[in-house]
Amino acid sequence: MAQNKYLVSTFRPQTAGAISYAPLGTAVPTNAVDELDPKFTKLGYISEDGMTKSFDFDSDTEKAWGGDPVNNIFNGKTTTFEFKLIELLNKAVNQAVFGQNNVTGDLETGITVKDTNAEPESYAWVVDMIGKNGALTRIVIPSASITDMDDITYATSESAGYDITITPQADENGVTNTTYIQKAPTTAAKPSTGGKD
């Protein structure tokens, strides 16, 4: 296949927000265009850095006498996703980070967020993006939990946020996440806006 500059792309979030989460076991989409299950909740604005998908390969290189590399031993790979949630006044955002039972109330009457040492909950996650020429790109993570979070800075010079890293767990087939890419529908079908806003 010849080079094609139209297949090079940057990505932006969908209008309603890019990242959604739902209780573990919620039906996840199998393409880039279907509507999300209503159990999914959008997590609002993400910082301008977007999302980073990282890979950590665990491998060893064996060398022969004399120093020549002769064998690469693959011990496994860990994939992580990092993004910064900046809607700290959003109850759903706090529940995703601190746990459903640790966040109560609402913004009108008051939100209470309890920070405990409990193990982070696992959720289903979906990331919806729009690439060049409106191509829809969706990353589906059926099960992942928060495994790291950066410091929170409360200041007037920048938006405070939860800069979290989630690590997917593999399914029975060893798959941790799946990416779907498809042209945006041109008929009556519309791109997904996700579940609850």
List pLDDT tens digits, range 125-179. 999 999 998 999 999 999 999 999 999 999 999 999 999 999 999 999 999 999 9
Could you give the C-alpha distances from 111 to 95, 161, 162, 193, 196, in angstroms and in order? 11, 16, 17, 26, 19
Rounded distance between C-alpha atoms, residue 78 and residue 168, angstroms: 8
Share of the chain above pLDDT 70, in %: 94
Rounded distance between C-alpha atoms, residue 50 and residue 170, angstroms: 24
Domain ranges of the chain: 19-56+73-182
pLDDT of amino acid 17: 84
